[in-house]
Amino acid sequence: MPFNKQKKLGQVFLKDKTIIKKIIQAGRIKTQDQVLEIGPGKGILTQALVKTKANIIAVEKDPELVELLKNKFKNQLNLKIVQEDVRDFFKKNKDKQLKTNYKAIGNIPYYLTSHLIQLLLESENQPQEIVLMIQKEVAQRIISQPPKMNLLAASVQFYAKPEIICYVPKTAFSPKPKIDSAIIRITPIKTKRNINRKFFKTIKAGFKQPRKLLINNLSDNLKIEKENIKKAYQSLNIPLKSRAQNLSIDKWISLSLLLIEDNV
């Protein structure tokens, strides 16, 4: 069945084989690795992945594309194609099909980016490596450091080390999108998951109105007296006039431990 080329489900399809090679290299894929491919589309990246001799689980939502993929790869023994929204794939505990230290790779719809990264990083079975094609501007936000820290960057960097591998022009896709993209590699790091509730409560409060002084955001949104926040600032050497974008991940973690009670 020929696939209707309209932009369904926010899809654009990668056509540049040089970029495909860069994605594979960024994933550091080896024989016998297990790879979750998210949104394989017409299978151009899938084709390169199966040649690595890794074991691929390709999760595709669109039934027309699934039919196309099954016909294209019907004799491929190291590929399993699953018709499902990747969000449901995880919610229904189907990620138990995934071994420890699997790798997640995909050219994903832009609207799904933040939610998908959160889903992967918060999973009990985190990927060993995440390599995604995402909007260039979003990739730049994710890798931000003080004084340009933001809520998305803090949320990702709590769990992982992100790095931009390269930028990808809109001409590498069909149909051509309106914006450029980037390949980003996100490598999970060991975190103390018992503190994540405190951390996320604190950063959400701190970034609620980024133009305000951080102490005002924290006091208003966490209902904490400013004198108590000032004491925490002093112990962590945080300037009184800091804004949310000025704090590093380590400072955010330390501040959350000082400000949020264990029973909150």
pLDDT above 90: residue 135: yes
- Best CATH choice for the domain 8-191 from the list 3.40.50.1110, 3.50.80.10, 3.40.470.10, 3.40.50.150: 3.40.50.150
Determine the Cα–Cα distance for residues 185 and 131; give it in Å rounded to an integer: 4
Distance of alpha carbon 190 from alpha carbon 176, whole angstroms: 38
CB proximity list for 112: less than 8 A, separation 6 or greater: 10, 86
Confidence (pTM): 0.90
- Tens-place pLDDT, residues 169-213: 988 888 888 889 999 999 999 877 778 999 999 999 999 998 999
All CATH 1.10.8.100 domain ranges of the chain, comma separated, are 194-259
| pLDDT for 140 | 98
Model confidence at 99: pLDDT above 80: yes
The domain at 194-259 falls in which architecture? Orthogonal Bundle (1.10)
Whether the CB-CB separation of 202 and 224 falls below 8 Å is answered with no
pLDDT above 90 covers a percentage of the chain that reads 75
**CATH 3.40.50.150 placement within the chain:** 8-191
Strand partners, 131: 105, 185
